[in-house]
Structure 1
Amino acid sequence: MSYANERLPREKVFRDPVHNYIYVENQVILDLINTREFQRLRRIKQLGTTSFTFHGAEHTRFGHSLGVYEVAREICDHFQRNYPTKAAGDGLWDDSERLVALCAALLHDIGHGPYSHTFEHIFQTNHEAITVEILTSEETEVNRVLRSVSPEFPEKVASVIQKTYANKQVVQMISSQLDADRMDYLLRDAYYTGVKYGTFDLQRVLRSMKPYQDGIAFDISGKHAVEDFIVSRFQMYQQVYFHPVSRSMEVILDHLLQRAKEIYEAGNGDEDFVPTLLIPFFEHRFSLEDYLNLDDGVFGTYFINWRTANDQILADLSHRFLDRKPLKSVEFDSETATLIPHLRALISDAGYDSHAYTAINNSYDLPYDDAYDPKMKKPLTQIELMRSDGSLVELSQESAIVNAISGKLSGDQRFFFPKEMLIPEDGGINLFQDIFNDFGRYIHNNQLTIPKE
């Protein structure tokens, strides 16, 4: 028996609040979970700064990755039970694809770093490229486990992540507009944030899935369950992922890391400043080992040290991040964008470095894209419904609800600024009282709305 087909003498289970049990049946999956690179995901929050708004959102990329594996495993079981291939090229499910699908599902996020998207913005890293490197580098434990299946297996799994794998069913199972990744993170994020927006009927969606020659379709009888998924995702982006306070804390984090980078490059850091594990990133010469040494705890330790740094801006931004002192924000559009220079000028007049204490943040999402464009950087396949005669129809053509939000960006753009510009920190009269008053009046007179924390 090859390692690829080796099953555990007794399945191992992980208790999970979303899926109840996560079943591990293959030795290779268990060995991948036990690698150094996968265990590192225990130390990286799934939702980054969102826990500053929804305090329960402390869950990790480790739990999410296990959840995506479990959803993919259930899809494979469903396909093998109901749509097994009977002849080569018949478009049904070939269960020899199971292991590559499960490994790709488990490992799809292994390249994420701490506060991933903010970190990528500052240091020009790419978590998908690093995921592929972790899978294919002979220096990693993950690669050694994958090579135990076959010499070419790491590249096969990586090609699923890169969406170049030949079997479209496997690729769509992991990456599409309705995939194992999205199904798990919506349910998991809803559970841990305590909201109901992200809930949908997972089992009904899974039961509706059907493999066919060009990928995965959904039985038309499951249309309403698929609609519910799309609307749930839309609501989660509006109510949770785009929450102004979470975005405010992300802005602070962004400016904090940028300030540290500038201090290092200028050679102005004091002896308590030196962030040894970040130096390779400041100098644009990091290795995979350097990347794998980072997690949320490393960042937190540096922020604690920087809270007493000689650089007052670095110290203050560290305090604001660690002690949850979010910036305020106002939403603006193409017409009110002309107000921002004056707001920035007032902030500078009040003694703030406008580069460090203000930001424009755009957050938009496409709830559903009904127009597949292979020329896009990250093209997403349409969701296809399969009629009883085997013909296909694109989801928004059958669903008035999805059609109403299809192809339409949702979100907003905000201008972030210090809260003290509205309420001076000491609550009383100070040298800049007139500036603060002017700022508040300017916001009010132009009818700019400030969200509650």
Structure 2
Amino acid sequence: MNTATAKALSSLYAHYDVTIRDPLWKDIHLSEPLKRIYLSPAVQKLGRIKQLGPTFHLYPGAVHTRLDHSLGVYHISYTILTNLLRQALSTGEETLLTEEGMRTFLCAALLHDIGHFPFAHSLKELPLRSHEAIAASLIEEDSQLHDAILDSGCSPALVAAIIDEGRLCEDPELLFYRSLLSGALDPDKLDYLNRDAFFCGVPYGMQDVSYITSKLMIYQGKPALPLHAEGSVEHLLFSKYLMYKNVYWHKSVRSATAMIKKALLCALTEGVLTAEDLYVLDDEQFFTLPDKLNYRPMELFSQVRNNIFLSCRHEQDFDGTRALDRRCTSLSERMGLEESLCQRLRSDFGYKGLESHQVVIDIPEPILFESDIPLIQNDGTAIPFDRANTVFSQDVGKVFTKNLRKTRIFTPPYVSKEAVERALEFC
């Protein structure tokens, strides 16, 4: 028996005796030092940020939070580590997992989303820092969190390096943890797909997490799966497609997120708001911005808060060769086109009271339905997922993307679809 591996596995059971009850995964076990990190203000703030933003207006149960999700990611990460160590013990092989490295990874899993602010995922186009970079800065600059991490026996700098891939890292163990936390079958996806489906009351996102976590292995320093487990990757990609189609990119959700994005883009462009103003907010503070800023476009915030969304008046599959879509890939050109549309609707179609912030063009970000996870054959060699016997060739992935990605124009409901379509011809 490899005594180092046995000792590492034993350490995962010996000190993780603080239990938190989760509706999805049931008992989640923390150590006392991790509990102190969990109770720090920077982490508890996540309990005041909804995981799915305005989606609860469509699916009323979707009021779960970033804190719930963070605990779930930690729990799945813990399960993966124990399974990897059991595998190493059963085969007698050496493992690159160390006690210190695992503590660091579990801390990173718990903290991976602390850089989130409301609607962060929906605002990636805007000139804002990534939530990973914000998380890394918080870990090093928030004294209470920094000290709690040190007290847990971890290096804040190494925790930050796992979360923020923009940071230089050459340690093989940390690079493995980084690829595990953000990869094809990472604990982040395994939690949010299951959790979001659970709270929305839909079946699409459910994954066989116990099977996946029991089959994950390490191959050349990266996560891998045996070839016979390829179906779990297909299942995840199908689930991702269905969740985007029915939940994340539902037309009503896109309207709400596009409205928020338009108001913030206007405010940032005109200097009414700075990026740093957003990073510290929770949901309640975020939606009180209209009360604090005397700025007309912020009425869109109030409308979203009150479940009043703009109506879709134009919809087409995104096509980068089409003039409209090509122009709208640039935020500045998109705003210019929105202004032109508004002017045309006012002057030619009688919508005198229409304001430019009420005309919103929405194009979701590119999305991929591919996986680069290695699949290990019986002889120990690996093949890429897209070379296995799977339906997810690159062409099929593109079909999924095309089916999901729509260019839409939203306006107040009193503006007719015909007027928008005709106005587009002159813009």
Instruction: List aligned pairs for 1:47-196, cutoff 5 A.
Output: 47-84=52-89, 90=94, 93-117=97-121, 124-137=128-141, 139-150=142-153, 153-163=155-165, 164=169, 165-167=171-173, 168-196=175-203
Q: 1:126 to 1:335 in 2, by over 3 A?
A: closer
One-letter amino acid of the structure 2 residue matched with residue 412 of structure 1: K
Q: 1:30 to 1:246 in 2, by over 3 A?
A: same
Q: Match of 1:65, SS? A: helix
Unmatched 5+ residue regions in structure 1?
266-281, 371-381, 423-435, 447-453
Instruction: List aligned pairs for 1:262-411, cutoff 5 A.
Output: 265=272, 282=273, 286=276, 293-303=280-290, 313-314=296-297, 316-329=299-312, 330-332=314-316, 333=319, 334-335=321-322, 337=324, 344-349=342-347, 350-353=351-354, 355-369=356-370, 382-403=372-393, 405-406=396-397, 409-410=401-402, 411=405
One-letter amino acid of the structure 2 residue matched with residue 158 of structure 1: A
Q: Match of 1:218, SS? A: strand
- Superposition TM-score, scaled by structure 1 size: 0.76
Q: Does 1:44 align with 2:49?
A: yes
Once the two structures are TM-superposed, the CA of residue 244 in structure 1 deviates from its matched residue by 1.6
Tell me how many residue pairs correspond in the alignment: 388
- Superposition TM-score, scaled by structure 2 size: 0.80
The question of whether the paired residues in 2 share the 8 Å contact of 1:357 and 1:417 is answered with yes
388, 392, 413: which one pairs with 2:407?
413
CA deviations over 1:109-152 (Å, ceiling 9, x no partner): 11111222456655623321110011112x432111112245x7
Measured in 1, the distance between the counterparts of 2:149 and 2:13 equals 15
Measured in 2, the distance between the counterparts of 1:41 and 1:178 equals 23
The question of whether the paired residues in 2 share the 8 Å contact of 1:198 and 1:236 is answered with yes
| Structure 1 ranges of 4+ moved more than 6 A | 5-10, 85-88, 338-342
- CA RMSD, 1 decimal: 3.3
Measured in 2, the distance between the counterparts of 1:85 and 1:214 equals 19
CA deviations over 1:214-258 (Å, ceiling 9, x no partner): 211111222222211121112212221111211111122223334
CA deviations over 1:80-100 (Å, ceiling 9, x no partner): 112249999x45644542111
The question of whether the paired residues in 2 share the 8 Å contact of 1:328 and 1:419 is answered with yes
Q: 1:229 — aligned with what? A: 236
The question of whether the paired residues in 2 share the 8 Å contact of 1:208 and 1:221 is answered with no
The question of whether the paired residues in 2 share the 8 Å contact of 1:83 and 1:211 is answered with no
Unmatched 5+ residue regions in structure 2?
1-10, 328-336
CA deviations over 1:61-93 (Å, ceiling 9, x no partner): 0000000000000001111112249999x4564
The question of whether the paired residues in 2 share the 8 Å contact of 1:359 and 1:416 is answered with yes
The question of whether the paired residues in 2 share the 8 Å contact of 1:85 and 1:93 is answered with no
The question of whether the paired residues in 1 share the 8 Å contact of 2:197 and 2:203 is answered with yes
Measured in 2, the distance between the counterparts of 1:260 and 1:188 equals 33
One-letter amino acid of the structure 2 residue matched with residue 129 of structure 1: A
Q: Match of 1:83, SS? A: helix
The question of whether the paired residues in 2 share the 8 Å contact of 1:83 and 1:92 is answered with no
* Greater helix proportion: 2
One-letter amino acid of the structure 2 residue matched with residue 40 of structure 1: K
Q: Which has the larger radius of gyration?
A: 1
Measured in 1, the distance between the counterparts of 2:270 and 2:218 equals 54
The question of whether the paired residues in 2 share the 8 Å contact of 1:80 and 1:95 is answered with no
